[in-house]
Amino acid sequence: MQRTLRVTSYLAIALVIFFVVMAFLVNLTPLGENTWLRVFFSVSALNFTLRASVPLILGALCGILCERTGIINIGIEGMMLAGAFAAFVAKTSTNHWPLMPSLLFGVAIALLVGGLMGLLHAIFSIRYRMDQIISGTVLIILAGGVSAYLFDRNAVAQGKFGAIAIPGLSQIPVLGEVLFTNPPLTYTALILVVVIHIGLFYTRWGLRSRACGEHPRAADTVGVNVNRFRYMNTVLGGMLAGLAGGFLVLEAVGQFQEGMTAGRGFISLAAMIFGNWMPFGAMGAALLFGYTQALQNELLLAGVTTVPRQFVSMIPYVVTIVAVSGFVGRVRPPAAEGKVYETEGESE
Amino acid sequence: MRLSVLRRIGYMVLIPILAVFSALLLGAIIMWIFGDDPLAAYRGLWTGAFGSPRAWSTTIRKMTPLILTGLSVAVAFKAGLFNIGASGQFLIGSVCSVAVGVNFEGLPAFVHLPLALLAGVAGGVLWGFIPGALKVFTGAHEVIVTIMLNYVASLFAAWTVYAGGTQGQTPGPLWDRTAGAISRTPEVFMSARLPWIVPEPYRIHWGVAIALLVALIMWWILFKTTLGFSTRTVGANSKAARYAGINVRWITILTMMIAGGLAGLAGAIETLGLNHRFAPEFTGGVGFQGITVALLGQTNPIGVVLAAFLLGALEAGAARMQFDSGVAADIIQVIQALVLAFVAAPLIIRQIYRIRKPSDQVETTVFSTGWGR
Amino acid sequence: MSTSITPPVLEARNITKVFPGVIANEDVNLVLHKGEILALLGENGAGKSTLMNIIFGLYHPTHGEIFVNGKPVVMKSPRDAIALGIGMVHQHFQLVPVMTVTDNIMLGDESVKNGLLDRRAVAERIRALSRKYGLEVDPDAIVEDLPVGVRQRVEILKALYRNAKILILDEPTAVLTPQEIEGLFEVMETLRRQGESIIFITHKLKEVLRIADRIMVLRNGRVVGEADPRTATQQQLASMMVGREVILTVDKGPAHPGETVLEVEGLCATSDLGEPALRNISFQVRAGEILGVAGVQGNGQTELVEVITGLRRADAGHVRIKGVDMTNASPRRITHEGRSSHVPEDRHAYGMVDSYTVADNLVLNQYYLPPFAKGVTIQEAAIAAHARELVKKFDVRTPSIYTPGGSLSGGNQQKMVVAREFSRPIQLLIAAQPTRGIDVGSIEFIHNQIVAKRDEGVAVLLVSAELDEIMALSDRIAVMYKGEIIDVVDRADATREGLGLLMAGVKHEAVR
């Protein structure tokens, strides 16, 4: 277990170094004249990767928060969609405000609605003991239905978050463009990875949360209120998924479309599994998935038509299947996942 | 002596009825909150579903694929598997049956039609086999794999009918050359179409009969045969199934293949009976609805037929409802989500209506036991 | 006892606890003084664990009061109990396997510095406690890597870390070897010397007489009496526990072994965690004899039974039934062709399907055979007739044969499993923990059935963690330790002490 983890981290580090080196070579030397190398390593490909990864990172963090406390969440997709729609409604109804407050209001509402979706999932699966996978399915259908029912197809959101260049760091060639010239929610997602990692493994909250997901009875017998932690973390997780939806509307696309999450919630779930329920692992997996989407985009831009675009679009989904097939058994989900925890009257 | 059995059956019927009632009520409240008139909406819904012979025929038409996708999900549930992939299997089934239907001109109908139907079933079986086999041999959870295969299926289906692009991309193999820039297949030959039972304008085809017959067969297999006993045992307790000498791996794969085949058949019937062609806008939404149908029908094939009828009626009435009352038809999806929520958590219904659970009722299967093994 | 000047550290008055349909505790009174070991004796289901869970705040009493140091207290959760100085070592360890000892011990009572966990300070305190009470443990070890005895120490440390003055030990000896038990008793004596008060829950008479200062006996949720360990005898305690004179031995004649039925040779297998679970195991069971497999739980007995019955793959070696090679054969072939029966150790996981009716459970591994199936169709009438006959013959108490098996009592569920497995013509019976967690009446019934099978000429392999059961039923006894059969002795030559040493891995010529 430990060794697999170490080998994976070394591999990840090696991969990162490889990409940095190639990015420098392709973007600063004549190597960049090669179409294929440009497809794989150009600044635009790397930028696209990051942009495509942000919702996946946030979604995977949502999954980690829920599952580390023992609540399975396949409803990330629905939470994201609800967040996106909420952000859109908030943004369009405050179009007359100055841009920044209006966008921030959109973020706040996305967080709120995402949190409410999390609360609903928690109530269904804890209070009403609904099977957690079915509860997630309910959220997905519900979010799809409500957003379509209430969607005003004539509304237009005006403006979206722009890039903020971090002084100094953004001047670094290539890296500055890719990492330090991004819109605010992108930075937020990256910071959240660090924050949640520290939270989970170095704080009281994290220790207790993980205990609830691994052995709820043990947590209960030392006075940890298991279901309170599960409620709390599912709501927090829902907020992160809501933020992912907010990102799509307020930072990436600028508008809402029905079903615009397009499976990102599910891919987040795969990123979480692939990343062994670790924030950095999940981020790595999300970047990988994001990269496959970037490739698809770059291939289109480069006019490569030898492969039909539908097959290129399949890549992230196929990679997900390969990932969950190849890695289950080598990763280890929280032991008490998906099981209802009851104190009274339980005999063991 | 059999009284307890009767009580259990009564409970199994009561919960879905109350679930539907509560969902409609809550749906009405939602409409009212957002300024719609629920009474007008439900009146339109009723008219659209049952108000005239045409309405009835629409309900029956909408019910048909739902029976099969509902069975697909229900059969998987029985073996302890969650098939979210019915929509992908539906799409592959559609495409495969169309592929046969637009080729082989001149074959007699009694060969061409069964061949086309069989192709649809085979496509679905393959699409069900993949998650089944991956689960057995690698431990990959069928929920994630089937969801991903839905996307792959829809992209694959889109490619087969792709009209090509402005940059000179090759069109898909099933594309209708006469359609210009529109991505769709040609119509299937007459010999591959399911004949009408009641012709235009009612347009009820023999697919209904097939679906009902299949439901009956599935009921017989599940409850009256040794294969059904094995399948249900695997779903209720896979360890006990192993102990009892049942080949759990084989049953898992087989069940996913049957589930896929049922959804594939739904796709084939829908294209060969009704649309007569495939176009990318035919989504596998009925596959996703199969989940609600299966749970509303308490995973029992007979219950599935009743649930499909109900959801078919909702679908059938939706258009009329929007036309008559101006309420967006999408509210139906909200109501369906609520139905699903209420049947999946009988505790909510029991608390609202203060119903006691029969003391010897044993809880239903749980799927969410982690993504590993 | 009420003459002491200081109030008792713990007192429970008139405790009643009602679960839906069951009265688990009725009007129970309990007094615990400072620095004493009170033994709470009772058989499975007597209400011991419920009472302790109430004292630890996990359950809330329906009626009654609890006093700590003379003051009435209300405990809403374990947190309250812990704050009052009550610590509990649960029968099933409440430790998170993937976390370190330090994390486990501080969980719920963490030291925090600058908002982050102060693991170093906690580890330091654990080391200090270890030294004080003689409970050696490495704070940085991951719990799942530790042997059972050490995990128990971690549990005790967890209570002491929270300054527990009252320790509840719930069946602490169930998972230990006789030698480890002695070690635990030494720790308990140290704790008593340091002024701790201990409630020791068990159903084992000898242990009670060895360590307790006072004995309280519980039966059907009620206190049926107290006893003084200096004067009480095992027979007295036993009859208090069960409410009648119990037959501690099973009535059986000498064995008449025939030809070899089960032959195991050089068997090796791997556990779920990927570690070797069986190392080169060989033995034989002959027709008409009972071979008992003794050993502390987790020494490979589970895996041994699983490999023989086809539920787990053998990595090497052979299993033969009447000379036919059945190594890695399917469970169905072993049952059918090998004419064998298997009473699995975990009846809920393997032996039955909770949601199935009694009738269906009774044909769980025969449903595909005539007369229960004709071709591919299930014959419900035959299944029902079969069920009616067995329910009567094996005295399975159920409202109807269509009642779900999961709603029967534990004893009746086990009788249902036994009925199914004992009612076919067989040559080999594999019974794993056949009487675990069931009432005395059912135990007696099942023991007699096993002996009856032996006398019919069936070869019986009996695996049990209860040494008394092994001693009472077996004709020969094999002892397993760390995946090996360390020795096989004749029943006539076996003593508890000798078997205990073998179970601890000490192979001594003096045993013979």
Kindly state the average pLDDT of the residues C193-220.
88
What gap in Å lies between CA C420 and CA C423, rounded to an integer? 6
Instruction: Tell me the three-class secondary structure of C442-482, residue by residue.
Output: HHHHHHHHHHHHHHCCCEEEEECCCHHHHHHHCCEEEEEEC
Provide, rounded to the nearest whole percent, the portion of chain C with pLDDT above 90. 55
Q: Report if residue A163 sits inside a domain.
A: yes
Do C226 and C364 fall into the same domain? no
Looking at the fold, whether C290 and C334 belong to one and the same domain comes out as: yes
Round to whole Å and give the CA distance between A307 and A233.
43
The ipTM is 0.88
* Of residues B192, B37, B20, the one with CA closest to residue B115: B192
C200 SS3 class: strand
The pLDDT value given to residue A4: 63
> B187, exposed or middle or buried, with CB in 10 Å at 0-12, 13-18, 19+?
middle
Same domain, C420 and C446: no
Say whether pLDDT at A14 is over 70: yes
Please indicate, yes or no, whether residues C438 and C507 belong to a single structural domain of this protein: yes
- Residue B5 CA to residue A104 CA, distance in Å, equals 58
pLDDT at res. C107: 94
For chain A, say whether B334 makes contact (Cβ under 8 Å).
yes
List C39's β-bridge partners, or say none.
Answer: C200, C215
Q: How far apart are CA B31 and CA B47, in angstroms?
A: 18
Q: Is the model's pLDDT at C344 over the cut of 80?
A: yes
Are C231 and C92 found together in one domain?
yes
C19: left (phi over 0), alpha (psi -120 to 50) or beta: beta
CA distance C59 to chain A (A): 6
How far is Cα A49 from Cα C458, in angstroms, rounded to an integer? 69
What residues contact residue A270 under an 8 Å CB cut-off, 6+ apart?
Answer: A285, A289, A320, A323, A324, B144, B148
C510, pLDDT greater than 80: no
Number of domains in chain A: 1
C70-124 pLDDT, tens digit per residue, is 899 998 888 889 999 999 998 788 999 999 999 999 998 899 998 899 999 999 9
Amino acid A344: pLDDT: 45
Q: Which two tokens stand for residue C96?
A: 């998170």
Residue C278 near residue C268, CB atoms below 8 Å: yes
Q: Residues of C with CB below 8 A from B247's CB?
A: 330
Using alpha carbons, list the distances in angstroms from residue C483 to A127, B324, C276, C284, C465: 44, 76, 8, 17, 15
In chain B, where the domains are located:
66-301
Q: Determine the Cα–Cα distance for residues B331 and B354; give it in Å rounded to an integer.
A: 28
Is pLDDT above 50 for A262? yes
What is A53-94 written as a DSSP string? Answer: HHHHHHHHHHHHHHHHTT----THHHHHHHHHHHHHHHHHHT
Cβ–Cβ contact B4 with C under 8 A:
yes
- H helices of chain B, in order, are 3-33, 38-50, 53-78, 86-101, 109-138, 142-160, 207-224, 226-236, 238-243, 248-269, 285-296, 301-325, 331-344, 346-353
Rounded to 10 degrees, the C-alpha dihedral A327/A328/A334/A338 comes to 140
CA C205 → CA A125, C202, C211, C213, C502, distances in Å? 44, 8, 11, 14, 22
Burial class (CB in 10 A: 0-12, 13-18, 19+), C127: middle
In this structure, what DSSP letter does residue C39 have? E
What are the C-alpha distances in Å from B331 to residues B44, B230, C364? 13, 40, 46
C205 with C307, same domain: the answer is no
Q: Which residue, chain included where needed, has tokens 């409609």?
A: B24
Cα–Cα dist B312/C53, whole Å:
52
Secondary structure of residue C341 in the 3-state scheme: strand
Handedness of CA A17, A23, A24, A29 (dihedral sign): positive
User: What's CA B105's distance to the chain center, in Å?
Assistant: 31
Treating both helix axes as pointing N-terminal to C-terminal, what angle do B331-344 and A132-150 enclose, rounded to 10 degrees? 160
Alpha carbon B224 to chain centroid, angstroms: 23
Note the pLDDT of residue A273: 85
C335 and C221 together in one domain: no
Instruction: Please say if the pLDDT value at position C63 is more than 70.
Output: yes
Look up the domain containing A253 and give its range.
54-283
- Please give the residue of chain C at the shortest CA–CA distance from A221: C78
pLDDT of residue B282: 80
Could C58 and A204 be called an inter-chain contact, meaning their C-beta atoms sit closer than 8 Å? no
Task: Name the strand (E) or helix (H) holding C19.
Answer: strand C10-19
Inside any domain, residue A135: yes
Cα angle: A40, vertex A45, A48; to 5 degrees: 145
Asked if residues B68 and B273 have their Cβ atoms less than 8 Å apart, the reply is: no
The residue out of C424, C439, C469 marking a domain boundary is C424
Question: What's the CA gap between C175 and C250, in Å, rounded?
Answer: 25
Instruction: Give residue A348's pLDDT.
Output: 27
Residue C46 lies in a domain: yes
Which residues numbered 209-238 in B keep a CB inside 8 Å of some CB on C? 223-230, 233, 236-237
Residue of higher predicted confidence among A184 and A347? A184
| Whether A150 contacts chain C with CB within 8 A | no
Scanning B127-186 for CB atoms below 8 A from A yields 134, 138-141, 143-145, 147-149, 151-152, 155-156, 158-159, 162, 165, 167-170, 172
Pinpoint the alpha helices (H) of A302-341.
Answer: 309-327
List phi, psi (to 5°) of B26: -65, -35
pLDDT per residue, tens digit, chain B (373 aa), is 456 677 777 877 888 999 999 999 999 999 999 999 999 999 999 999 999 999 999 999 999 999 999 999 999 999 999 999 999 999 999 999 999 999 998 899 999 999 999 999 999 999 999 999 999 998 888 888 998 999 999 999 999 998 877 666 788 888 888 888 888 899 999 999 999 998 888 889 999 999 999 999 999 999 999 999 999 999 999 999 999 999 999 999 999 999 999 999 999 999 999 999 998 878 778 888 999 999 999 899 999 999 999 999 999 999 899 999 989 999 999 999 999 999 888 888 888 888 877 655 555 555 655 565 4
**Residue C155 near residue C91, CB atoms below 8 Å:** no
Q: Tokens 């012979």 — which residue?
A: B53
In a domain, A323, yes or no: no
In a domain, residue A19? The reply is no
Q: Residue C511 pLDDT > 70, yes or no?
A: no
Q: Residue C376: list chain B partners with CB under 8 A.
A: 225-227
Q: Which two tokens stand for residue C165?
A: 């003055």
Neighbours of chain A (3+ CB pairs under 8 A): B, C
Cα-only R_g, chain B: 21
Across the interface, whether the CB atoms of C402 and B225 are under 8 A apart is answered no
Distance from CA of B168 to the nearest CA of C (A): 55
Q: Is B310 in the A-facing interface, judged by CB distances under 8 Å? A: no
**How open is the CA angle B313-B314-B316, to the nearest 5 degrees?**
60
* DSSP designation for A5: H
Paired strand residues for C488: C478
**pLDDT tens-digit map of A204-218:** 999 999 999 999 989
Q: Do residue C99 and residue A343 have CB atoms under 8 angstroms apart?
A: no
Share the mean pLDDT of chain C.
88
pLDDT band at C245 (very low <50, low <70, confident <90, very high): low
CA angle A105, A110, A113 (to 5 degrees): 125
The answer on C166 and C149 residing in a single domain is: yes
Residue C508 lies inside a defined structural domain of this protein:
yes
Under the banding of pLDDT at 50, 70 and 90, the label for residue C318 is: very high
Using 50, 70 and 90 to split pLDDT, how confident is the model at C498?
confident
Which two tokens mark C233? 């005898």
Q: Which of A29-43, A238-252, B350-364 has the lowest mean pLDDT?
A: B350-364
Three-class secondary structure of residue B147 per DSSP: helix
Q: Does A20 touch chain C if contact means CB atoms closer than 8 Å?
A: no
Closest Cα of chain B to A67: distance in Å?
9
Look at the alpha carbons of B350, B353, B354, B356 in this order and tell me if their dihedral is positive or negative.
negative
| Whole-number Å distance between alpha carbons of A94 and C116 | 40
Same domain, C212 and C82: yes
> Taking CB atoms and an 8 Å cutoff, what residues of chain B touch A130?
341, 344-345, 347
CATH number of the domain at C319, please: 3.40.50.300
What is the spatial distance between Cα A284 and Cα A17, in angstroms, rounded to a whole number?
Answer: 13
Highest-pLDDT range among B209-223, C42-56, C456-470 = B209-223
- Average pLDDT over chain A, rounded to whole? 88
In the 8-state DSSP scheme, what is residue B363?
P
Residue C250 has pLDDT above 90, yes or no: no
CA distance C102 to chain A (A): 11
Pick from C424, C453, C484: which residue ends a domain? Answer: C424
C303, C258 Cβ separation under 8 angstroms? no
Residue C345 lies in a domain: no
d(CA B183, CA B171): 9
Per the domain annotation, does A295 fall within a domain? no
Question: C274: which 2 tokens?
Answer: 């990927």
Q: Are residues C93 and C143 in the same domain?
A: yes
Closest CA to C507 of C483, C489, C487: C487
CA distance B53 to B62: 14
Q: How far apart are the two ends of chain B, measured CA to CA in Å?
A: 40
Least confident of A159-168, A293-302, B198-207, C110-119: A293-302
Look at residues C390, C409, C424 and tell me which one is the last residue of a structural domain. C424
Range of the domain at C388: 350-424
Confidence of residue A65 (pLDDT cuts 50, 70, 90): very high
Q: How high is the pLDDT of residue B26?
A: 95
Distance, in Å, from the CA atom of C447 to the CA atom of A139, rounded to the nearest integer, reads: 53
- B145, B148, B166, best to mutate vs chain A, most A CBs in 10 Å: B148
- pLDDT surpassing 60 at residue A74: yes
Is residue A262 in a domain? yes
Contact C351 B228 (CB under 8 A): no
Size of interface A-C (CB pairs under 8 A): 78
pLDDT at A229: 96
Top mean pLDDT of A172-176, B135-139, B221-225, C249-253 is at B221-225
For residue A112, pLDDT over 70 is answered with: yes
The first and second tokens of residue C268, run together, are: 């090796």
Q: Can you tell me the mean pLDDT for C439-452?
A: 86
Tell me how many domains chain C contains. Answer: 3
The reply to whether residue A222 touches residue C103, judged by beta carbons under 8 angstroms, is no
